[in-house]
């Protein structure tokens, strides 16, 4: 019995000297391989639905340190095995910080690259913190950016990426099924790369964490109670086995080389833990090599894949517009007062909400910016959002509020119905702004802000048009001057195509002219005398010049001028004049171009005159198409602003509404439609696209008809619905009420209820509904309600509109209440855009010019016939001969009647429509016929708008509307 007791005691003592369990090696190599294989499998799976899905890592290696090259090769190999594209770019260690930062910015802006890694350490001449923080936090797969580090340090933070080595450490613990909840964890080392982030990760997993460093005392004592040890101090074999608690889990992050004569290299790789003394104390321990190292690379692979998946998901996200609150006042203050009372969002915030990247934005101050056309390439796989055109009935001279309705509708859609929407409007000319009409920012609580910046200069697009137009005008007169004063063609040719460094070369425009003439000789010295004469002499007939100089001011004294009176011009005088800048054909081209190449081609095709043989002379012939396009290279980019409720607005182009399309640009529409459109490959079920709401100048018979027949032909886009703006005031005028004149008190018929007048006037609305429906697009009527309008008058309009075929007719009060006053209209628009449409043009462009004119007059205006005056017919015949007969038609007429006669209200019929003249905008791509002479540079009234404008000592503009 005694001997048995002794044996038991001896066995017990023996057990106390032996580790309770054998240690397990945590092999990072095995786990990392599994992670890489899983990543590859996931990539292949995603590609089944998204064939273009290609995660990509970019590594910048500065200098050629051997250890850095080794790490880069490991990362390249691991990425490739995982199905991740990896591009390593090596740079000299002499690279400057500015050069490296520029390179990082380029990569940040490249959507094809999902992860960017700067291989550390960097040469001493580079600020490591500045460089690593220059990497976009959304591409910072190392997790070193201050945003990611800060979010990791926060309780319940949301970093985009976790640093790879710390994440690898945690992954090893998870693979071993180590429950960290309540465990004592000790981290040796406080580096920003490992020690600090791994401590944060352990705390987030509810471990009690102690961080030790070079100043910590009694480290062995601290380690003796540690359940988990993370060693990352960079000291070879620092941690001894006798310091450790029985059964501790040890993660050795260290990578150190110590002398070893048995190795061919003379060195041996060891960790920060003395493996041999520690292994018998541990339940789990990582080897070096083969532990944390492979996991670091595997976590990098996982981060790149996560970045690519995040980008794929974000491509499905619809814009989320954060609205600004309105603080409504009664009575409604002036437009400028309302605008100034609202603090706009920074335009960077508007862009971010729309998903516009920083490199796609060019800031002009805090609240406006230009949007790069490159965004269309990035968004080419998006569907278009819903496309809504706002037009109107035949207006009074006071206007019926199309711009205000456009803004109010978008504010309602975005700020109140959570439907991402963009308003696309024209840039106003400063001529009307300082004249009688005023600006075009909308009005009341539905306007573009800041409205003073919107109405004055904006980003200089109109000035760029003016500079380009006037360069063209100067080039034309100069060419005539030189041809007439240089009689000898050979001398003129030598000056036209001069030798530079002993060699002559043709410009791009010259080569295009040679091609037009059928001369296939790119060498200037090979042309015959006959070919030189044909090429060099344009022989412009001054009487046929159609290009005038322009100015963005209502300066009536410039309507007709005489130029060339200086003695230096040698008697080359002629009569000409000025147009307002927005009447320039270049403005129409800006509005109708699809991209920069299209604009260059259109500018080259502008016909500026005819030669003495009646042949057209173009801008390409003059030789300045490239220069004009260069002046407009920034103007072609749409401008981004916002409404009073912080909803996005695109402002671009401002073509003269009488002789042109009177609508904002094709490019702005295309960009906006993609921004609010859903992905064609979206995996989000039942996702709905957003809305783009744009407007057309004047009433539907003018702006709407041109929008469909000219702008839609240029863009290839067709609206999903038309919103027709009507007012009780305008319908009373068409019903027989007295004339309305700006600046004069409204007659009582307009401010008192008169249902009979409205009932008579609705015929005009019904005709406009019919006009719109001829294009196969559904119509909603927006009844822009004024304070004096009564419910009985509104009901007459609503009933007549529906009987005429409108989908709905809704009263709105957005001028007084902002988006809240247009919610019913917005709901109607949402519904109508889901209705089927069958778009068709009003006429075939291959029809004769005469037939196209007659079709517009009969189907849109209600006329019986057209009367083409002899001079106009002569022009038509000339354009047919020149090959321009197959262009769409724009008819310039009064906006105050469906007919050519402003006094004919309501729905006149049976009239003969006169065509007094026909002119050509070949670059823009249409002919325009004139029913009466149109003033293309308005005049100023006795009491003009500029008289109200002042600026205070702080630079605040006052007196704008």
Top-tier CATH class for 849-930: alpha beta
Q: Catalogue the active-site residues.
A: 75, 119, 142
878 Cβ contact partners less than 8 Å away, ≥ 6 residues apart: 610, 614
Contact between residue 297 and residue 75 where contact means Cβ atoms under 8 Å apart:
yes
Residue-wise DSSP of 670-729: HHHHHHTSPBTT--STT----EEEEEBSSSIIIIIHHIIIIIHHHH----SEEEEEE-HH
Per-residue pLDDT tens for 675-732? 999 987 766 777 889 999 999 989 999 999 999 999 999 999 999 999 999 999 999 9
Q: What pLDDT score does 961 carry?
A: 65
List the end-to-end C-alpha distance of the chain, in Å, as a whole number: 113
pTM: 0.90
Per-residue pLDDT tens for 97-126? 999 999 999 999 998 999 999 999 999 999
Helices (H), 255-380: 275-278, 292-314, 335-341, 347-354, 375-378
Query: Which of 739-748, 798-807, 936-945 is predicted with the least confidence, judged by mean pLDDT?
Result: 936-945
Using CA atoms, how far residue 751 sits from 189, 733, 761, 793, in Å, is: 81, 12, 16, 12
Per-residue pLDDT tens for 309-368? 999 888 888 999 999 999 999 999 999 899 999 999 999 999 999 999 999 999 999 999
Q: What pLDDT score does 20 carry?
A: 47
SS3 state at 172: helix
Instruction: Determine whether domain 462-632 maps to CATH 3.40.50.300.
Output: no
Q: At what angle do helices 66-81 and 292-314 cross, to 10 degrees?
A: 50
Whether 550 shows a pLDDT value over 60: the answer reads yes
CA atoms within 13 A on the CB side of 498: 3
Using CA atoms, how far residue 237 sits from 186, 269, 285, 861, 891, in Å, is: 17, 10, 14, 94, 89
Helices (H), 735-869: 748-751, 755-773, 791-803, 814-817, 823-832, 849-856
Whether 68 shows a pLDDT value over 50: the answer reads yes
518 Cβ contact partners less than 8 Å away, ≥ 6 residues apart: none
Using CA atoms, how far residue 133 sits from 110, 136, 150, 600, 874, in Å, is: 17, 7, 12, 41, 69
- CATH number at 335-459+634-833: 3.40.50.300
Average pLDDT of span 646-650: 98
Mean model confidence pLDDT for the chain: 92
Whether 379 shows a pLDDT value over 90: the answer reads yes
**Pair of tokens at residue 92:** 């000299």
Question: How is domain 24-308 classified at the architecture level of CATH?
Answer: 3-Layer(aba) Sandwich (3.40)
- 949 or 54, which is more confident: 54
Domain ranges of the chain: 24-308, 335-459+634-833, 462-632, 849-930
Q: Is the peptide bond before 396 cis (omega within 30 degrees of 0)?
A: no
SS3 sequence, 53-75?
CCCEEEEEEECCCHHHHHHHHHH
Burial (Cβ within 10 Å: 0-12, 13-18, ≥19) of residue 210: middle
Q: What pLDDT score does 14 carry?
A: 38
Using CA atoms, how far residue 528 sits from 466, 508, 780, in Å, is: 39, 20, 65
Using CA atoms, how far residue 737 sits from 248, 758, 919, in Å, is: 95, 9, 36
Average pLDDT of span 937-957: 72
Per-residue pLDDT tens for 414-442? 999 999 999 999 998 887 777 665 667 89
Using CA atoms, how far residue 905 sits from 365, 615, 900, in Å, is: 46, 42, 11
In angstroms, the CA 162 to CA 168 distance is 10
Per-residue pLDDT tens for 136-172? 999 999 999 999 999 999 988 999 999 999 999 999 9
Per-residue pLDDT tens for 905-933? 999 999 999 999 999 999 999 999 999 88
711 Cβ contact partners less than 8 Å away, ≥ 6 residues apart: 591, 592, 661, 663, 666
In angstroms, the CA 300 to CA 161 distance is 10
**How large a percentage of the chain has pLDDT more than 90?**
83
**Pair of tokens at residue 807:** 């989908």
Per-residue pLDDT tens for 578-631? 999 999 999 999 999 999 999 999 999 999 999 999 999 999 999 999 999 999
**Pair of tokens at residue 370:** 């230009």
**How large a percentage of the chain has pLDDT more than 70?**
96
Q: How many CB atoms lie within 10 A of CB 2?
A: 6
Q: Measured on CA atoms in the order 199, 200, 201, 207, is the torsion positive or negative?
A: positive
Per-residue pLDDT tens for 831-878? 999 998 899 999 999 999 999 999 999 999 999 999 999 999 999 999
Q: What pLDDT score does 436 carry?
A: 65
Phi-psi region of 444 (alpha: psi -120 to 50; beta: other; left: phi over 0): left
Q: At what angle do helices 402-411 and 823-832 cross, to 10 degrees?
A: 80
pLDDT band (50, 70, 90) for residue 741: confident
pLDDT band (50, 70, 90) for residue 262: confident
In angstroms, the CA 933 to CA 476 distance is 25
Per-residue exposure over 88-105, b if at least 16 CB sit within 10 Å of its own CB, e if not: beeeeeebeeeebeebbe
Residue-wise DSSP of 261-277: TTSTTSEEEE-SB-HHH
Average pLDDT of span 463-467: 97
Residue with tokens 């057309």: 696
Q: What pLDDT score does 639 carry?
A: 98
Q: Is the peptide bond before 121 cis (omega within 30 degrees of 0)?
A: yes
In DSSP terms, 269 is beta-bridged to 257
pLDDT band (50, 70, 90) for residue 537: very high
Identical fold, 335-459+634-833 and 849-930: no
SS3 state at 504: strand
Contact between residue 419 and residue 388 where contact means Cβ atoms under 8 Å apart:
no
Q: Are strands 950-951 and 926-930 parallel, antiparallel or unpaired?
A: unpaired
Q: What pLDDT score does 874 carry?
A: 96
In angstroms, the CA 635 to CA 641 distance is 15
Gyration radius (Cα) of the chain, Å = 37
Q: How many CB atoms lie within 10 A of CB 654?
A: 29
Residue closest to 925 by CA, chosen among 594, 589, 450: 589
Contact between residue 941 and residue 420 where contact means Cβ atoms under 8 Å apart:
no
CA 801 remoteness from chain centre: 37
**Pair of tokens at residue 959:** 């007196």
Helices (H) and strands (E) in the chain, counts: 36, 38
């Amino acid at each position: 019995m005694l001997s048995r007791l002794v044996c038991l005691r001896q066995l017990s003592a023996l057990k106390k000297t032996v580790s309770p369990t054998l240690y397990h090696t945590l092999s990072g190599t095995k786990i990392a391989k599994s992670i890489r294989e899983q990543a590859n499998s996931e990539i292949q799976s995603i590609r089944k639905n998204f064939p273009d899905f290609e995660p990509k890592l970019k590594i910048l290696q500065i200098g050629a340190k051997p250890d850095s090259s080794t790490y880069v090769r490991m990362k390249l190999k691991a990425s490739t095995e995982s199905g991740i594209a990896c591009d390593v770019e090596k740079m000299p260690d002499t690279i400057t910080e500015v050069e490296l930062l520029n390179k990082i910015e380029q990569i940040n802006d490249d959507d094809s690259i999902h992860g960017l890694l700067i291989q550390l350490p960097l040469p001493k001449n580079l600020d490591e913190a500045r460089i690593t923080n220059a990497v976009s936090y959304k591409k910072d797969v190392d997790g070193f950016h201050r945003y990611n580090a800060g979010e990791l340090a926060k309780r319940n933070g949301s970093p985009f990426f976790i640093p790879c080595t710390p994440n690898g450490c945690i992954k090893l613990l998870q693979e071993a099924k180590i429950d960290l909840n309540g465990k004592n964890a000790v981290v040796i080392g406080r580096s920003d790369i490992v020690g600090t982030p791994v401590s944060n990760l352990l705390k987030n997993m509810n471990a009690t964490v102690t961080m030790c460093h070079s100043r910590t005392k009694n480290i062995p004592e601290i380690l003796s109670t540690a359940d988990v040890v993370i060693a990352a101090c960079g000291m070879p074999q620092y941690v001894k086995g006798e310091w450790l608690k029985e059964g501790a889990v040890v993660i050795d992050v260290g990578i150190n080389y110590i002398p070893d004569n048995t190795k061919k290299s003379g060195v041996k790789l060891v960790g920060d833990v003395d493996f041999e003394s520690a292994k018998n104390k541990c339940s789990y321990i990582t080897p070096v090599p083969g532990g944390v190292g492979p996991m670091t690379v595997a976590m990098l692979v996982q981060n790149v894949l996560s970045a690519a998946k995040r980008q794929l998901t974000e491509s499905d996200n619809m814009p989320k517009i954060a609205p600004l609150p309105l603080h409504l006042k009664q009575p409604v203050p002036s437009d400028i007062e309302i605008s100034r009372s609202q603090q706009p969002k920074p335009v960077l915030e508007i862009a971010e909400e729309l998903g516009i990247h920083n490199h796609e934005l060019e800031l002009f101050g805090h609240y406006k910016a230009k949007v790069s056309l490159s965004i269309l390439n990035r968004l080419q796989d998006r569907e278009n959002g819903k496309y809504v055109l706002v037009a109107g009935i035949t207006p009074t001279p006071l206007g019926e509020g199309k711009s205000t309705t456009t803004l109010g509708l978008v504010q309602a859609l975005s700020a109140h119905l959570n439907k991402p929407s963009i308003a696309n409007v024209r840039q106003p000319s400063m001529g009307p702004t300082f004249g009688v009409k005023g600006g075009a920012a909308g009005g009341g609580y539905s306007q573009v802000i800041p409205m003073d910046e919107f109405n004055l200069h904006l980003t200089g697009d109109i000035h760029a048009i003016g500079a380009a137009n006037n360069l063209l005008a100067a080039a034309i007169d100069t060419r005539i001057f030189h041809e007439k004063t240089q009689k000898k063609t050979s001398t003129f040719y030598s000056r036209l195509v001069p030798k530079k460094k002993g060699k002559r070369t043709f410009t791009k425009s010259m080569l295009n002219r040679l091609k037009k003439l059928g001369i296939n000789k790119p060498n200037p010295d090979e042309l015959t005398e006959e070919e030189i004469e044909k090429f060099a002499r344009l022989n412009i007939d001054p009487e046929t010049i159609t290009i005038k100089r322009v100015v963005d001011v209502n300066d009536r004294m410039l309507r007709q001028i005489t130029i060339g009176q200086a003695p230096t011009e040698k008697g080359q005088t002629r009569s000409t004049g000025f147009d307002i800048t927005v009447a320039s054909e270049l403005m129409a081209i800006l509005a109708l171009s699809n991209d920069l190449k299209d604009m260059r081609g259109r500018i080259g095709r502008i016909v500026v005159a005819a030669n003495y043989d009646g042949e057209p002379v173009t801008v390409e012939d003059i030789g300045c198409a490239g220069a004009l396009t260069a002046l407009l290279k920034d103007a072609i980019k749409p401008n981004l602003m916002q409404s009073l409720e912080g909803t996005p607005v695109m402002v671009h182009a401002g073509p003269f509404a009488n002789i042109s399309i009177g609508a904002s640009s094709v490019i702005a529409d295309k960009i906006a439609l993609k921004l609010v459109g859903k992905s064609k490959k979206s995996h989000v079920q039942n996702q709905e696209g957003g809305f783009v709401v744009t407007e057309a100048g004047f009433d539907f018979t003018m702006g709407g008809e041109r929008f469909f027949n000219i702008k839609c032909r240029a863009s290839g886009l067709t609206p999903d619905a038309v919103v027709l703006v009507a007012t009780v005031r305008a319908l009373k005028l068409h019903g027989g009420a007295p004339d309305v004149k700006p600046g004069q008190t409204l007659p009582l018929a307009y401010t008192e209820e008169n249902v009979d007048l409205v009932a008579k006037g609705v015929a005009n609305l019904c005709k406009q509904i019919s006009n719109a429906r001829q294009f196969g697009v559904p119509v909603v009527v927006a009844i822009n309600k004024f304070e004096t309008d009564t419910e009985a008058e509104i009901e007459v309009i609503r009933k007549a509109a529906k009987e005429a075929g409108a989908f709905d007719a809704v009263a709105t009060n957005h001028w007084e209440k902002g988006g809240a006053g247009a919610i019913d209209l917005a709901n109607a628009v949402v519904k109508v855009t889901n209705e089927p449409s069958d778009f068709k043009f009003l006429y075939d462009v291959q029809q004769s010019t005469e037939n196209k004119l007659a079709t517009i007059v009969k189907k849109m205006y209600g006329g019986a016939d057209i009367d083409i005056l002899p001079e106009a017919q002569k022009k038509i015949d000339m354009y047919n001969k020149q090959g321009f007969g197959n262009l769409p038609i724009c008819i310039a007429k009064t906006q105050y009647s469906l007919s050519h006669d402003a006094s004919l209200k309501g729905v006149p019929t049976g009239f003969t429509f006169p065509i007094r003249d026909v002119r050509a905008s070949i670059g823009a791509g249409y002919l325009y016929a004139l029913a009466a002479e149109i003033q293309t540079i308005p005049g100023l009234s006795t009491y003009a708008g500029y008289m109200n404008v002042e600026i205070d000592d702080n630079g605040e503009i006052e007196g704008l509307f």
